[in-house]
A = this chain, B = another copy of it.
Amino acid sequence: MDIYPVIKQFARTLRNLDAVLDKATKYAEARKFDVNNFLTARLFPDMLPFVTQIRIACDQAKSAAANLSGKEAPKHEDNETTMADLRGRIAKCLAYLDTFTAADFQDTKPDAMIRLPNRPGKAIAAAEYLYARQIPNFFFHATTAYDLLRHGGLEVGKNDYLGPLGFVDV
> Shortest beta-carbon distance, A60 to chain B, in Å?
11
Find chain B residues with CB under 8 A from A13 CB: 136
User: Does A95 touch B at the CB level, under 8 Å?
Assistant: no
User: Does A2 touch B at the CB level, under 8 Å?
Assistant: yes
Find chain B residues with CB under 8 A from A12 CB: 132
Residue of B44, B128, B139, B140 touching A135 (CB-CB under 8 A):
B139
Residues 95-149 of A at the B interface (beta carbon under 8 Å): 110, 113, 115, 119, 121-125, 127-128, 131-133, 135-137, 139-140, 143-144, 146-147
Find chain B residues with CB under 8 A from A165 CB: 124, 128, 132-133
User: Does A73 touch B at the CB level, under 8 Å?
Assistant: no
For this chain, the copies found in one complex come to 2
> Shortest beta-carbon distance, A88 to chain B, in Å?
23
Q: Can you list 9 residue pairs at the A/B interface with Cβ under 8 Å?
A: A9-B132, A12-B132, A47-B150, A115-B170, A119-B167, A128-B166, A135-B139, A136-B162, A143-B144
A positions within 8 Å CB-CB of B:
1-2, 5-6, 8-9, 12-13, 43-44, 47, 110, 113, 115, 119, 121-125, 127-128, 131-133, 135-137, 139-140, 143-144, 146-147, 150-151, 153, 158, 161-163, 165-170
